[in-house]
Amino acid sequence: MNNESYDVIVVGAGNAALCAALSAQERGVKVLVLERAPQEHRGGNSAFSGGAFRMVYNGLEDIKRFVPDLSEEEIANTDFSEYTAEQFLDDLGRITQYHIDPDLAEILVRRSTDTVLWIRQKGLRFVPMYGVNALKHKGRFKFFAQPLQTVGGGPGLVDGEIKAVEQRGVTVRYNARAKELLYGPDGVEGVQIVANGVEAEIRARAVVLACGGFEGNREWRTRYLGPGWDLAKVRGTRYNTGDGIRMALKIGAQPCGNWSGAHATDWDLNAPEYGDMSIGKINYGKHSYPFSIVLNANGVRFLDEGADIRNLTYAKYGQAILAQPGQFCWQIFDSKVLHLLRETYRIKQVTKVTGNTLNELVSKLDGVNKEQALKTISEFNAAVMQGVPFIPNVKDGRGTTGLTIPKSNWAQTIDTPPFEAYGVTCGITFTFGGLKITTKAEVVDTEEKPIPGLYAAGELVGGIYYFNYVGGSGLTNGAVFGRVAGESAGRYAVGQ
């Protein structure tokens, strides 16, 4: 194996990595993909995603380019709206408090549509995300700026991209953990790996790192994110432990981004420590909280459940939950909104209690101050703006008045039985800190100079996300910069 050589090695086998492999292969070079996980657990966090891509699009006609078999009924009953480049850039700016690298933001947004179309041309199929990013109101669906997902969600995305790379002659090797970058006077020269307990060196003209952040590394989480993060559950793969970041920093790469930040969301209280593919995709997620009130162990609300649409708040609320006593809370719904709950609330493996009265419900909330919980619910009910209509598929402005922590939209009194409550905790998806890259996806050193032969894409790149996350942009980010990294690595390899 030590005599092996390739033009480009891609470390990782998720969406960003596979897009890099496809893009490099288009340059006519010999490509190897190294996947640390066994084949049955391949795909990194991409396999645990919903397969959603946020992109710029101009209404129905653009949607038809991705889903040409839309039915007449779907067309008649759906408002796909539109999502402009300016809206995308504005969302990225606001959500990251304008810390996002503006040059990377421009590439992410301006190349989003073309890149998703490029993925489709590789054989992937897309469908509208009914029931996830579109809710039906008065017989009509309306989408929240993110209408499409791959058929089969995240597993379908990974399977489709693996099929595409293998059809094009790219080698994919499983159980192959990259340990070190081979680095000489002319730059990166390959990768040292451990495969089935045996160390080996594989030479290459260029290397693309696309093997995720460090959310699977409990020690790094505590070191960089802070106290308590060792207690968070990991929503996705156990194999993202920061290997790519560590290898690059060791040869002088520049760290970049929000190293104390992460994508973390509402996750079932009794979910396993790592993502569980046996129940499929993201089924432990509890993301219908905009239609609930959320109480902590003290029986009080601690966040604005209706601050914005779910896609613009869910990735920061996990951290808020982690900061609560006992690192948990309960989402409380009444029967008026139960039909709006996502399918993830209906799985067998769920932490749920019900009651025909509020007293009965609250008595079942483990670990919660019962008296204060009832008082909080009563105060909330009295504060709801009853004169404003409830409209679930837009920011309806139906909020509260007089509360220390308001609910800005979708406020409904909790007064109509039966009542349901769901126990949730923090589930971390990926970390925001990583490596600094150029607009060509070149990894730069601490002197801002590109490290020859080294490129990066996906969740181990810093400079994109700060404090929060725009739903559906992660897969787009991985695909766009994976494509850029593969193209740059391929050009470099040919030039070498």
pLDDT digits (tens, 9 = 90+) for 476-487: 999 999 999 999
DSSP 421-440: EEEEEEEEEEES-EE-B-TT
Position 87 pLDDT exceeds 80? yes
Residue 131: what pLDDT? 72
DSSP secondary structure, 203-246, as one string = EEEEEEE----STT-HHHIIIII-TTGGGPEESS-S--SSHHHH
Amino acid at position 241, single letter: T
* Domain residue ranges of the chain, discontinuous segments joined by +: 5-215+432-495, 264-427
Spatial contact of 276 and 350, defined as CB atoms under 8 Å apart: no
Query: What's the rounded Cα separation, in Å, for the pair 469 and 475?
Result: 12
What separation, in Å, do the N-terminal and C-terminal C-alpha atoms of the chain show? 22
The architecture that CATH gives domain 5-215+432-495 is 3-Layer(bba) Sandwich (3.50)
C-alpha distance from residue 169 to each of 28, 172, 175 (Å): 10, 9, 20
- The HSE-up count of residue 415 (CA atoms within 13 Å, CB side) is 9
H or E element, residue 11: strand 5-11
CA triple 288-294-295, angle to 5 deg: 155
SS3 of 259, please? coil
Residue 353 has phi, psi (to 5 degrees) of -130, 155
**Quick one: DSSP state of residue 347?**
S
Domain 264-427 annotated CATH 3.10.180.10: no
Instruction: State the pLDDT confidence band at 135, using cuts at 50, 70 and 90.
Output: confident
pTM: 0.94
Structure token digits, residue 306: 């209706």
Tell whether the model's pLDDT for residue 138 goes beyond 90.
Answer: no
How far is Cα 301 from Cα 330, in angstroms, rounded to an integer?
10
pLDDT of residue 279: 63
Of residues 6 and 197, more confidence is placed in 6
Percentage of residues of the chain with pLDDT beyond 70: 99
Question: Nearest-CA neighbor of 285 among 355, 337, 233, 215?
Answer: 233
Place of tokens 């009953």: 77
Task: List phi, psi (to 5°) of 99.
Answer: -85, -20
Q: Quick one: pLDDT at residue 371?
A: 98
- Which of the two residues, 386 and 141, has the higher pLDDT score? 386
| pLDDT number for residue 282 | 59
Q: Residue 413: what pLDDT?
A: 98
